[in-house]
């Protein structure tokens, strides 16, 4: 089974974000990055499927500037067989349709049995790129998948619905699945894996110019910190212990919890 996993690099979850001067995006300069959380689970699922079904190939594909190589190398160290890096410096404002179009041009000749992505990115959070990619590749898809059974000719996938409900879908293969976080425990890269990764192929591709250059269907005009809906009383003024003591008092006198 040949499985392609799309992985995105995003701003570190704990990063303190600053707005850029033109108020159109965040200040990227001093930002640290990490792999998009659910994409990490998509890779893990691909590796497990390959192991379970006696081989095949796991190919990682990532779109972005040179810094995304760290995501690619980490994926190769964990066990992916090779990688495709679609190199583009300016992807922050790329809409999901354009991103899907660029990615479809990059992977369409691979003829994968399965394409896996995370369910949404932790930065733009469109939750669309995977589904649009499926449409462009002519594949059936399922989103928010938490279990994959590929033992038969087709697929059976368990989808998460809202409020604790689930549903199984039987579907044809090849297919595209967007994977929910927490589907399994993510493995660590071993030293052996890290050494082996150095010999694995990373193919660099230029993005399809037409797809990249097409007019965006949505444009960010301004970014800003959300307005607060509640008047929060901040306690301790930076001193956590003093804040804790004040909080105990407030919980008794104002909130009347005890």
Please list every residue from 176 through 215 that binds another protein, using CB under 8 A: 180-182, 185, 215
Nearer to another protein, 170 or 206 (CB): 170
Among 165, 188, 191, 199, contact with another protein (rule: CB under 8 A): 165
DSSP, collapsed to helix, strand or coil, labels residue 129 as: helix
Residue 112 in the binding site for another protein (CB under 8 A):
no
Of these, 57, 87, 127, 196, which contacts another protein (CB under 8 A)? 127
Match 């660590």 to its residue by tokens: 188
What is the DSSP annotation of 10-68?
Answer: EE-TTPPP-B-TTSSSB--TT--EEE-HHHHHHHHHHHHHHHHTT--EEEEEEEESGGG
Interface with another protein (CB under 8 A), residue from 81, 149, 160, 208: 160
Task: Please enumerate in sequence order all residues whose Cβ is within 8 A of that of 152, keeping only pairs 6 or more positions apart, or say none.
Answer: none
Shortest Cβ 177–another protein spacing (Å): 11
β-pairing, 33-35 vs 9-11, is antiparallel
Count of residues near another protein by CB under 8 A: 84
What's the CA gap between 99 and 207, in Å, rounded? 10
Q: Nearest approach, Cβ of 36 to another protein (angstroms)?
A: 11
- Window 131-150: residues binding another protein (CB under 8 A): 131-132, 134-136, 140-144
CB of 107 to another protein, least distance (A): 16
> What is the nearest approach in angstroms of another protein to the Cβ of residue 122?
6
The helix/strand/coil state of 2 is strand
Q: Which of 32, 66, 172, 190 binds another protein (CB under 8 A)?
A: 172
Q: Nearest approach, Cβ of 185 to another protein (angstroms)?
A: 7
CA distance 4 to 136: 15
Do β-strands 202-205 and 2-6 pair in parallel, antiparallel, or remain unpaired? unpaired
| Per-residue binding letters, 66-105, with another protein (x by CB under 8 A) | -----------------------------xxx--x-----
Tokens representing 93 are 């404002």
**Burial (Cβ within 10 Å: 0-12, 13-18, ≥19) of residue 198:** exposed
Residues 16-35, interacting with another protein (CB under 8 A): 16-17, 19, 26
Nearer to another protein, 54 or 238 (CB): 238
**Which residues ranging from 219 to 258 are in contact with another protein (CB under 8 A)?**
219-226, 228-230, 232-236, 238-241, 243-245, 247-252, 255, 257-258
- Least separation in angstroms between CB 195 and another protein: 28
C-alpha to C-alpha distances, 46 to 3, 148, 239, nearest whole angstrom: 6, 10, 46
């Amino acid at each position: 089974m040949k499985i392609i996993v799309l992985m995105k690099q995003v701003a570190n979850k704990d990063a303190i974000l600053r707005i850029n001067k033109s108020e159109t995006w965040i200040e990227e300069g001093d930002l640290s990055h990490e792999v998009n959380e659910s994409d990490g689970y998509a890779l893990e699922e691909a590796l497990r499927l390959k192991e379970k079904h006696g081989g095949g190939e796991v190919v990682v594909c990532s779109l972005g500037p040179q810094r995304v190589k760290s995501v690619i190398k980490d994926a190769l160290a964990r066990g992916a067989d090779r990688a495709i890096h679609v190199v583009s410096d300016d992807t922050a404002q790329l809409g999901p349709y354009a991103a899907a179009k660029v990615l479809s041009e990059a992977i369409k000749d691979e003829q994968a049995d399965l394409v896996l992505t995370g369910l949404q990115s932790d930065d733009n959070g469109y939750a669309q790129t995977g589904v649009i990619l499926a449409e462009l590749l002519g594949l059936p898809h399922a989103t928010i998948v938490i279990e994959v059974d590929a033992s038969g000719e087709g697929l059976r996938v368990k989808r998460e619905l809202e409020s604790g409900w689930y549903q199984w879908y039987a579907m044809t293969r090849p297919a595209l699945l967007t994977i929910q976080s927490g589907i399994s425990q993510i493995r660590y890269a071993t030293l052996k894996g890290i050494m082996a990764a150095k010999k694995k192929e990373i193919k660099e591709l230029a993005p399809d110019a037409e797809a990249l250059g097409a007019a965006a269907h949505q444009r960010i005009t301004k970014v800003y910190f959300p307005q607060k809906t509640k008047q929060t009383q901040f306690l301790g003024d930076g001193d956590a212990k003093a804040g804790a003591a004040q909080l105990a008092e407030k919980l008794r006198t104002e909130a009347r919890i005890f």
